[in-house]
């Protein structure tokens, strides 16, 4: 039960962090303009675009997806703390 809860929480954090990064890079939004619903939607789009572009050059395996998750979590820590 705790494993499911932590997986959902960690997955949500990753999606929101990627959406915030997408808004920060593309639309030049500030940290104060944070809206969780829009950022999570853009997070799904950003993750999809990154996955598609990486898949053209490398096969997506556990190492590449783990690196993406770790980098996304580091981005979350940098921007939100």
Q: How is the chain split into domains, by residue range?
A: 9-80
Going from the C-alpha of 10 to that of each of 17, 20, 56, the distances in angstroms are 11, 15, 27
Kindly report the number of other CB atoms within 10 A of residue 11's CB atom: 11
Kindly report the number of other CB atoms within 10 A of residue 30's CB atom: 8
For residue 63 the two structure tokens come to: 């190492």
Provide the residue-wise pLDDT of the chain in tens; the chain has 81 residues: 899 999 898 888 888 888 888 888 888 777 667 778 888 888 888 888 888 998 899 888 889 888 888 888 888 888 777
């Amino acid at each position: 039960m705790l494993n499911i809860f932590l997986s959902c929480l960690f997955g949500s954090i990753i999606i929101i962090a990627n959406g915030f990064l997408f808004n920060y890079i593309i639309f030049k939004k500030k940290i104060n303009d944070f809206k969780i619903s829009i950022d999570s939607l853009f997070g799904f789009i950003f993750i999809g675009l990154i996955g598609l572009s990486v898949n053209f050059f490398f096969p997506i395996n556990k190492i590449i997806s783990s690196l993406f998750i770790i980098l996304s979590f580091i981005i979350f820590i940098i921007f939100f703390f």
